[in-house]
Amino acid sequence: MPPEGKRILSGMQPTGRLHLGNLVGALENWVELQNSGYENFHMVADWHSLTIDYKSSDNLEDASFQVVTDWLAAGIDPEKSVIFTQSQIKEHAELNLLFSMLITVPRLERNPTLKDRVRDADIDENLSFGHLGYPVLQAADILIYRANLVPVGEDQLPHIEITREIARKFNSTYGELFPIPEGKLTKFGRLPGLDNKKMSKTLGNTILMSDDSETLAIKIKGMITDPEKIYRNSLGHPDICPVFAYHNKFNESEVPEIRAGCESGALGCADCKQNLTSKLNDYLDPIREKRAELESKPDSVRDIINEGNIKAKKEVSETMSLVYEAMKFGKPSIS
């Protein structure tokens, strides 16, 4: 058990209903960490979503609602975790401004994650100031709660390093205030999409946590498999097959048998997919049931978000008072 007072900050951009990659890559880890002895803060990062598409703010409220509904359906407990919306806590922007004085433009331009995002979004000629400074706002998101641990995917580790640098720079300049947070990688790697590429709504290759059993069956039936296993009796190569990757996660006990059957040609892809459909339905049924219950009481979800915003506001107000005192501005006189 970690010492009392240790904190976790994690977040997601509001993309609407979440897919299995979100569940495996983040949510399951968050649920597990609720019982780790840490205080948990989970943020809907709606400001961050504007770094790629600033014009699409009209759907952010509903998209945020859908994200939180999936969080709750997956097991995030508002009695154990604070769930809040970034844009409702204005102090994030205030600390972002102060932190922006502590880091150089060349350092931000060297961020490898930024280079990947610019390439993937094809915005090299139109990189915004906000997008360049994405890691600084992320540092503010983390440090304003004085978080010690940040669950992230491997691609986010460079951002965590920038957060650590900013925390050290602040502490050495103004006095020890912020912990130096650590990134925590999830146990299970990324799930491939239906086409064996990175799972992404943009690519249309996702399985949603909320997909019903019929939709799930159709999606799995259409999944790409080993391109060399054309016929049932063809010898397979399971390690390059996305269906097998899903068995590794959702049907671990049968993995040795499935591998042997695939490699020998005894197991056909259609049977393998049907088995996966059954196991995934068993896995997702409790989440679907919980989500349906939450959807029938939308005001209860909104109440959870509002209560989380109030709790988050209290924490950040305390931090900003300490920041102002450390920087010799005096305590904020207007809340």
Mean pLDDT of 200-216: 94
Total length of the chain = 335
CATH, domain 213-293, list 3.30.565.10, 1.10.240.10, 3.40.50.2000, 3.20.20.150: 1.10.240.10
- What kind and span of H or E run contains 133? none
Quick check: helix, strand or coil at residue 253?
helix
Mean pLDDT of 272-292: 97
Look up tokens 């197991």; give the residue: 267
- The phi and psi torsions of 17 (rounded to 5 degrees) equal -60, 135
> Which pLDDT score is estimated for 2?
44
Does 7-190+298-326 carry CATH code 3.40.50.620?
A: yes
| Residues contacting 300, CB < 8 A, separation 6+ | 294
- Residue 240's CB is within 10 A of a number of other CB atoms, namely 15
Please check whether the two domains, 7-190+298-326 and 213-293, share a CATH topology: no
| pLDDT band for position 123 (cuts 50, 70, 90) | low
Cα 181–Cα 24–Cα 86 angle in degrees, nearest 5: 50
- What kind and span of H or E run contains 316? helix 298-326
| Residues contacting 67, CB < 8 A, separation 6+ | 12, 14, 15, 16, 17, 18, 44
| pLDDT band for position 189 (cuts 50, 70, 90) | low
Mean pLDDT of 251-261: 96
Distance CA 226, CA 230 (A): 8
> Which pLDDT score is estimated for 1?
40
- Residue 329's CB is within 10 A of a number of other CB atoms, namely 11
Distance CA 40, CA 251 (A): 29
Cβ pair 201, 17 in contact under 8 A: no
* Cα distances (Å, whole numbers) of residue 202 to 84, 124, 198, 212, 312: 26, 19, 10, 21, 32
**Sign of the C-alpha dihedral computed for residues 69, 75, 79 and 82 taken in this order:** negative
pLDDT digits (tens, 9 = 90+) for 69-115: 999 999 999 999 999 999 999 999 999 999 999 999 999 988 887 76
Q: Of the given ranges (10-14, 122-126, 193-197, 329-333), which has the lowest mean pLDDT?
A: 122-126
pLDDT digits (tens, 9 = 90+) for 297-310: 999 999 999 999 99
- What kind and span of H or E run contains 120? helix 112-121
Mean pLDDT of 43-49: 94
- The phi and psi torsions of 8 (rounded to 5 degrees) equal -120, 135
pLDDT digits (tens, 9 = 90+) for 209-225: 999 999 999 999 999 99
Strand arrangement, sheet containing 81-85? 81-85, 39-44, 7-12, 149-152, 182-185
For residue 308, which amino acid is it? G
Domain coordinates of the chain in residue numbers?
Answer: 7-190+298-326, 213-293
